[in-house]
Chain A
């Protein structure tokens, strides 16, 4: 990460953003 850049994990994103979908 560049200096001052907020990691994606610390941003306001939906929980699903970090959950890989299960195949249907």
Chain B
């Protein structure tokens, strides 16, 4: 049921993704704010299939030269490509001081025991400005292999970007900035170089009182 209903292929599934700030109020109390979040879900066959977006509509929002989205998509497999539109929650009251940790947690699972490489490219006007590459090994849990990148520290570029974004007085100004801010995540099998998942992230600011929201799409090319 995962196929076509969430960020997954037969080889790897994104189980959870969150970017957050966490403030240590005192030795026993932590306040956590999620900027964006994809929670654990268990789709069934009665759930709707993901809508699709033509990958060519977003080529210019991501690197276009060697190793760019176009080249990656042409190499495939095309069923491993997804687009996530996040409505980010910037409505935080956590004070910004030295006791704040900015982090990203993600979790994947697979029927296969692999070593995966996760590349995350932050792009401005479609050009890569910073890249983080992480390698993760499998842990066998409950009959499947789990890959957990736990509390990976957010880079300075992103922390500064969030600070500046929050200072803008109007949401339409934030959305105007976010129109040219994207992130491309590519997960590969380290040993075979096979592409397992490619997720393109685009953003707006949430207007909800209920935290971050998102829509997920399959990337296709008719």
Contacts and interface: CB of A to CB of B under 8 A. Distances in A.
Interface stretch (B114-122, B143-151, B211-219): B211-219
Interface residues of B, number: 23
A18 to B, nearest CB: 9
A19 B208 CA distance: 11
A3 B53 CA distance: 24
Nearest to B180: A1
Interface residues of A, number: 16
Chain A contact residues: over half helix, strand or loop, or mixed?
Answer: loop
Contact of B215 (A2, A7, A21): A21
A1 B210 contact: no
B214 A12 contact: no
A20 B125 contact: no
Interface string B172-190: 0000000110000000000
Interface of B: 51-54, 57-58, 60, 85, 87, 125, 179-180, 202, 204, 206-208, 210-211, 213-215, 217
Going nearest first, the 9 A-B pairs with the smallest beta carbon separation are A23-B210, A21-B213, A20-B87, A11-B57, A14-B51, A20-B213, A16-B215, A12-B57, A17-B85
7 contacts: A1-B180, A2-B125, A11-B58, A12-B54, A14-B52, A16-B215, A21-B214
